[in-house]
């Protein structure tokens, strides 16, 4: 038998049936298929029976197989997977990825997981077939089989703004969401507000929970009660900001200020306030989160927490490209970029305490 090529010497992990090295030909024999069939599975080819594909993937995972990066022919692509792809938020992320990819001579492929926190199996096979330089997952993650599939093909991946805890071994780029929620709420407290509502994002998302935790911490630090009636669970969409805004503003003892959790929900809250004849900021102060371009053009311009989306996307893309290179590992694979409060004209003193307009600033 010919000596195995460097990329064809996987080893069974300790605790399995054997610790001997194996070539792809030996994996093929154990799977009861030909070596070209194993190669087809590795390359994401569609002409493999599902049961055969599953068996081969199990063996590749069992042996801890990993194709050498130098041997893996790559397409000039970066794959970007979105939890949802329908807002100005996503456009800021795309711009950040595109800027770095273009500088590296690469193109960008976009996918959407249709609201799921992990993309479907078909997507993983398609990525294996494309053999991109790397994958950036936005508000998404991978299950164990998908991670194993990408790892065995030496396709690096990075999670940007992870929905949950990605794990210590998963590279990720995030933002200081807790600090942002704290800064937004503390700003309202310092203006004199005591009844401060919050419209969060989905509770399953780590960034959403962190923002609400920051909101709670600001109230508790100021000695103000955290009223569950004033906290509404949203989904980061405009329509939900409008609907939950109406619920908050129709309360007998309504809030005088609301931390909207993101800019799109803040804009929905604007609509709810107008419908009820409330003026911003004279009757209601509003703070968003993200600092999308629209935040400075609405009337009045929105006070918000700037999340550096383009910088986060660029950092995630640079990290995934670094991970794909042979010359060592990046110094840091879990990074949080700083958020900052951007004060505009949507916040002021509560009714009855005089106008304390914030003005434009940072």
Helix (H) or strand (E) holding 272: helix 263-275
Query: Contact 259/197 with Cβ under 8 angstroms?
Result: yes
Instruction: Please indicate whether residue 119 or residue 226 has the higher confidence score (pLDDT).
Output: 226
pLDDT of amino acid 195:
98
Query: β-strands 257-259, 231-233: how paired?
Result: unpaired
Give Cα separations from 349 to 1, 29, 283, 352 (angstroms).
81, 75, 9, 8
Q: Are strands 303-306 and 340-342 parallel, antiparallel or unpaired?
A: antiparallel
User: Given this model, what pLDDT does residue 297 score?
Assistant: 95
Helix (H, G, I), strand (E, B) or coil at 120: coil
For 46-61, letters b (16+ CB in 10 Å) and e give: eebeeebbebbbebbb
Q: Check pLDDT > 80 for residue 290.
A: yes
Query: Which residue reads 């390359």 in tokens?
Result: 43
- Give the per-residue pLDDT at 19: 35
Pairing state between β 257-259 and 196-200? parallel
Task: Return d(Cα 106, Cα 78) in angstroms, integer.
Answer: 7
Per-residue confidence (pLDDT) for residue 66, from 0 to 100 = 61
State residue 115 phi and psi, 5-degree precision: 90, -10
pLDDT band at 44 (very low <50, low <70, confident <90, very high): low
Per-residue pLDDT for 14 more than 60? no
> Which residue, 279, 285, 304, is CA-closest to 293?
304
pLDDT at position 114: 64
Q: CB pairs under 8 A, 24+ apart, for 156-160?
A: 156/320, 156/323, 156/324, 157/320, 158/134, 158/316, 158/317, 158/319, 158/320, 158/323, 158/333, 159/316, 160/93, 160/136, 160/312, 160/313, 160/316
Q: Could you tell me which residue, 22 or 346, shows the higher pLDDT?
A: 346
pTM score, whole prediction: 0.78
Q: Which residues pair with 340 in a beta bridge?
A: 306
The stretch 193-209 carries a mean pLDDT of 94
Sign of CA dihedral 138, 143, 146, 147: positive
350 or 70, higher pLDDT: 350
Mean pLDDT of the residues in the chain: 84
């Amino acid at each position: 038998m010919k000596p195995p090529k460097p990329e064809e010497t996987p080893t069974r992990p300790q605790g399995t049936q054997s610790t001997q090295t194996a070539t792809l030909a030996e994996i093929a024999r154990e799977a009861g298929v030909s070596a070209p069939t194993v190669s087809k599975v590795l390359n994401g080819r569609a002409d493999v029976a599902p049961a055969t594909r599953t068996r081969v993937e199990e063996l590749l995972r069992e042996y801890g197989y990993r194709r050498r990066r130098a041997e893996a022919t790559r397409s000039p692509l970066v794959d970007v997977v979105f939890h949802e792809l329908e807002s100005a938020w996503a456009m800021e992320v795309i711009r950040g990825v595109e800027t770095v990819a273009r500088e590296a001579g690469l193109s960008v492929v976009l996918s959407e997981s249709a609201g799921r926190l992990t993309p479907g199996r078909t997507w993983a096979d398609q990525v294996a077939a494309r053999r991109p330089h790397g994958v950036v997952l936005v508000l998404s993650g991978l299950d164990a089989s998908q991670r194993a599939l990408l790892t065995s093909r030496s396709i690096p991946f990075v999670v940007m703004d992870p929905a949950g805890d990605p794990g210590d071994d998963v590279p990720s780029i995030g933002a200081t969401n807790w600090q942002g929620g704290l800064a937004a709420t503390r700003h309202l407290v310092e203006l004199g507000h005591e009844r401060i509502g919050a419209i969060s994002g989905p509770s399953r998302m780590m960034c959403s929970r962190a923002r609400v935790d920051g909101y709670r911490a600001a109230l508790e630090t100021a000695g103000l009660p955290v009223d569950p009636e004033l906290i509404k669970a949203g989904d980061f969409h405009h329509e939900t900001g409008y609907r939950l805004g109406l619920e908050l503003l129709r309360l007998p003892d309504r809030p005088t200020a609301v931390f909207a959790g993101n800019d799109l929900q803040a804009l929905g809250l604007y609509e709810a306030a107008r419908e009820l004849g409330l003026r911003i900021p004279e009757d209601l102060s509003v703070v968003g989160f993200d600092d999308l371009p629209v935040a400075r053009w609405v009337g009045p311009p929105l006070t918000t927490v700037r999340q550096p989306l383009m910088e986060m996307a660029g950092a995630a893309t640079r990290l995934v490209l670094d991970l794909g290179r042979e010359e060592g590992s990046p110094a840091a694979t879990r990074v949080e970029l700083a958020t900052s409060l951007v004060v505009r004209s949507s916040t002021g003193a509560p009714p009855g305490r005089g106008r304390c307009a914030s003005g434009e600033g940072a």
